[in-house]
Amino acid sequence: MKRQHAKLLRAMIEYDAGDVQRIQHLLKVHNLAATIGTLEKMDEEDLFILESAAIVHDIGIHISEQKYGSSDGKHQEQEGPAEARKLLEQIGEYTPAQIERVCWLVGHHHTFKNITEADHQILIEADFLVNIDEDRIPKEHLEIIREKIFRTETGRHLLHCIYEKTYCPIKNEA
């Protein structure tokens, strides 16, 4: 793990202190995003940004709950980027371009249409892989989710192995 990600994880855990469910959620989403991004052969810079965004993707929840009494996705996308920017600037070592992209991803991680970049797609897939379990989404909805949301081969494979099969053989990579 990159030192910068370790520092950001620590800062995000401090930000969510005492909220075990949200801390566990961000850890799972980060791990799955890193796994998908790596196996989909993202370049190092894009993977770095993806992992950073996965760590802070839900940072807008607390403010959304305070301001609107709701943590719905649109409020998170509205409130999250400014909070993410503050935290990334506090950590330091992020370039302005990296901060902009992470904030954009935070502001679009519940936007499922017009996805054109791999980092956006993978962040959504990783979040869905975790939310299916945490939100107790019925198995009957998995086919619809796969068809409407999942685009990467790795994300589809993980969805299948986690939720639809009891055994998935390891795929050989070229």
Determine contact, residues 22/71, Cβ cutoff 8 Å: no
pLDDT tens for the chain, 174 residues: list them: 799 999 999 999 999 999 999 999 999 999 999 999 999 999 999 999 999 999 999 999 999 899 898 888 888 999 999 999 999 999 999 999 999 999 999 999 999 999 999 999 999 999 999 999 999 998 889 999 999 999 999 999 999 999 987 667 676 665
For the stretch 122-141, what's the b/e string if a residue is b when 16 or more beta carbons lie within 10 angstroms of its beta carbon? bbbbbbbbbebeeeeeeeee
Nearby residues of 81 by Cβ (< 8 Å), 6 or more positions away? 60, 103, 104, 106, 107
DSSP state letter for 49: H
pTM for this one? 0.93
Given a contact cutoff of 8 angstroms between Cβ atoms, the answer to whether 37 and 47 are in contact is yes
Cα dihedral 114/117/121/124 (nearest 10): -80
Distance set, CA 66 to CA 2, 70, 104, 148 (Å):
33, 8, 22, 32
| Positive or negative: CA dihedral 70, 74, 78, 79 | positive
